[in-house]
Amino acid sequence: MQIGEIQEIYRYPVKSFAGEKLEHCAIEEYGMLGDRFATFYDETKKDWHKYITARNIPNLLNYRATFQDGEIRITGPDGQEYGWDERLLEEVQGQTKTRLSMSAMKEAHPEYPQLLSVDGASILIITDSSLNKLQQTWGKKLDERRFRANFVVKVADDSITEGDWIGRRLKISDARLQVDSFCQRCVLITMNPDTQVKDPTLLRKVNEEFNLHFGVYASVVKTGTVKQGDKVFLD
């Protein structure tokens, strides 16, 4: 059953950095090629608490990360360019008293096969229907980048919700995805991706209307290539 089409594709090579908008992407066994490959750590903490995000350093959102020819390239707020290297670490370290380290980049793959060095699941999907509903109830213009989704799906029927897909598979071109769980939202969505100005009313509205669930996580069943405009089918 066709449920919609791929409206937008985004890739975020570095946790909490701005990402890149794509016309097409490769889906590997662990997720989107080049997505969520790298992160900064606070080595004094454990588990998910050790990952440095825009909650710790809001200015991270002003660094734009791209994935080019197997390497991460960074453009800073002042236009300076960096690789995923010690020079970048020194740049970011200057913005916090917390002693930072950075994840390894080896052979153009994430540190761990299932991206557990950076995030809890492979691919994040939201729909235009949910975005429109939230924008209407919030009463303010809503930037989809706040949700850092990999795919924005334009659904054929506004009554379709991402929650209907959990436990089922999506077919997109030659790729197959298994929809595993909701994405539970946190304070990061309250930050304007360009100015970092916080608006806590957005998180409250997501809680009221969606029980903090906005978008779904999916894992990869079959690799392939996904393009903007590809039809999305629910198996």
Each residue of 108-130: b (16+ CB within 10 Å) or e?
eebeeeebebbbebbbbbbbbbb
Residue 148: φ, ψ to 5°: 50, 40
Query: pLDDT tens digits, residue range 148-173?
Result: 999 999 999 888 889 999 999 999 99
Name the helix (H) or strand (E) containing 135. helix 128-138
Instruction: Report the pLDDT averaged over residues 167-194.
Output: 96
Confidence of residue 116 (pLDDT cuts 50, 70, 90): very low
Would you tell me how many other CB atoms lie within 10 Å of the CB of residue 159?
7
Residue 13: φ, ψ to 5°: -65, -30
The per-residue pLDDT for 207 is 97
The per-residue pLDDT for 185 is 95
The per-residue pLDDT for 120 is 54
At residue 117, does pLDDT exceed 50?
A: no
At residue 115, does pLDDT exceed 60?
A: no
Sheet containing strand 24-28, strands side by side: 31-32, 24-28, 224-227
Q: Give the lowest-confidence range in 102-106, 183-187, 222-226.
A: 102-106
DSSP β-ladder status, 151-155 and 123-127: parallel
The per-residue pLDDT for 208 is 97
Instruction: Report the pLDDT averaged over residues 201-221.
Output: 96
Sheet containing strand 81-83, strands side by side: 64-68, 71-75, 81-83
At 215 the three-state DSSP class reads strand
Residues 163 and 126: their CA atoms lie apart, in Å, by: 10
* Close Cβ partners of 67 (under 8 Å, ≥ 6 residues apart): 11, 13, 20, 33, 34, 35, 37, 73
At residue 94, does pLDDT exceed 80?
A: yes
Q: Which three-class secondary structure string do you get for 59-88?
A: HHHHCEEEEECCEEEEECCCCCEEECCHHH
Q: Give the lowest-confidence range in 92-101, 103-112, 162-171.
A: 103-112
Residues 211 and 37: their CA atoms lie apart, in Å, by: 29
